[in-house]
Chain A
Amino acid sequence: MDRRATFWILYLPPLLWLGAFFLIPLLLMFAFSFRPDMRGDFFELWQPSLNQYEKLISTGSYWRLLWTSAQMALLISISAVVLSFPIAYFLAFHGKQRVGFYLVLLLVPFWTSYLLRVMAWKIMLGTEGVINSFLMYVNLIQEPLTALLYNRNAVVITLVYVWIPFATLPILAALQRIDTSLFEAAADLGARPLHQFLRITVPLSLPGVLAAFFMVFIPTVGEYVTPLLVGGSRGSMYGNIIQDFFTKAANWPFGSAMSMVMLAGTLILVAIATRLINLKDLLE
């Protein structure tokens, strides 16, 4: 058996598997989004129609929700980057020999079940939860606070919290690549610490900061689990409405069209991100 035969053995299984369970489902969803309605057999050819997209475009509330989701994702990713920058800075310049240990310490919670961590927050923030019962115990409040859970703020806070360890990594990678002799040179030439920070550290960490931003922003726009758990009906995001059209409303063609819009948006974001960031710069 030669190299060519080996090629086919290595090539066919993943090609067929990913074709059947990744590419074809997405193409099917694409096709479904052009169905006029749910009537008729799945295998009957249907007259392609733009009904779903027309309905989607003409209904303002879907666009507003997509816009709101994008704004939430923007707020979440900027907050996560700003809050994780000092951590990356600390690890890069003050971590010394312990940096490996500190990094594991930071990442361990990130590896534990996401659902459980979010649920723990629910236990803490709920009306009978840790925070409310504690505040009532020390007589700071008489009635439990209800503003802590089931709204957009709860979704934003939970997601920022969840993403911080993850956002630290690319920033740390960028900071560790900075040649420290630059600081000495700057100091010799009379630059003060703040000046050095603004003129050396900030610009050179920019690729990492951008990578962190996109690594948080892209999955957050498509989020549906966190709003489901802590958002309640007031904290829904675009992804939750897609879910509703497949579970509650059973309007698959419309859900597919909404899903296509999200997929297209995500791919555009990825294209922009790869244009702005040279991934090789960070991985070396």
Chain B
Amino acid sequence: MTTFRNSFPLKSYFFGLIALLYLPIVVLFLFSINSNTYLSFPLQGLTFDWYQKLLASDALLRSARNSLVVALGSSLVATLMGTMVALLMMRYQFRSKVLLVAMAVLPLIVPYIVLAVALFLLFSVFNIDRSLLTVGIAHTVVALPYVLLIVGARLAGFDASVEEAAMDLGADYPTTLRRIVLPMIAPAMVSAWLTAFTVSFDEFALALFLAGTQPTFPVYLYGQLRFANRLPIMIALAVLMMIGTLTLVLIAERVRRVE
């Protein structure tokens, strides 16, 4: 039925590539339990020391907390704003619709370096100190398109006549939104929120420009790359964070599937 019957070469290729994709993750894990400060063959010995030392590294833990704060704040704002734009896009007709939707989708296309530079100029001109707030603002802008696409797809998937029926039965529009529309799009909003969270949590290109003296974890990690003896501790935290984000992503997928 398919053009090439023998699937063995394709299958080996697929799993070879999968192995290559997972290799760096395995390497990072090995690095975090390796007693030497660089990963060379043969391995010198295994240790959980790095995980213990992690608890004593204040600056490192602060950077992780910064990332968490930025991701929480920016994902909430992005989910709210993105849902608003999705509702307007799918349920209203108005003249400036093209402009609004374009502004909400274009951050997906504009190179991060361009956006970083533009926001850098904005904050410099208005004398706003670069901080977690400025990083968070940048992250709301780049996470918003994902929210719009996820929630918009959900809104497109159900019939607007349900809303009309509610209004015919005497509900005003805000009530209809709250009682009919919101429950229907809630799973999509949760999925969008988790997506926005992970977009922000790992983001480096914008944060490097906008973090100022309050580094997020990726920015801090980048700054510490020169110090080889600190690296295993950073990687230990990175492994923990990777497990965290992966869990979130898989939950987001699950929530979206359930719909």
Contacts and interface: CB of A to CB of B under 8 A. Distances in A.
Interface stretch (A13-21, A50-58, A59-67, A148-156): A13-21
A93 B1 CA distance: 9
A39 interface: no
Contacts, number: 242
B173 interface: yes
B222 interface: yes
B161 interface: no
A97 to B, nearest CB: 14
B140 A21 contact: yes
Interface residues of B, number: 84
Contact of B103 (A7, A22, A194, A197): A22
A193 B4 contact: yes
Contacts of A7: 88, 92, 94
B195 to A, nearest CB: 10
A176 to B, nearest CB: 12
Contact of A22 (B24, B107, B173): B107
Nearest to A105: B18
Interface in A96-130: 102, 104-106, 108-109, 111-117, 119-121, 123-124, 128-130
26 contacts: A6-B173, A13-B80, A13-B81, A14-B82, A14-B144, A15-B100, A15-B103, A87-B14, A90-B13, A90-B14, A94-B11, A108-B246, A109-B21, A111-B246, A112-B245, A120-B28, A123-B31, A129-B38, A164-B21, A193-B5, A196-B3, A201-B3, A225-B208, A266-B114, A267-B109, A270-B109
Interface of A: 1-3, 6-7, 10-11, 13-15, 17-19, 21-26, 28-29, 32, 42-43, 83, 86-87, 89-91, 93-94, 102, 104-106, 108-109, 111-117, 119-121, 123-124, 128-130, 133-134, 137, 161, 164-165, 180, 183-184, 193-194, 196-197, 200-201, 218-219, 221-225, 229, 239, 242-243, 246, 252, 255-256, 259, 262-263, 266-267, 270
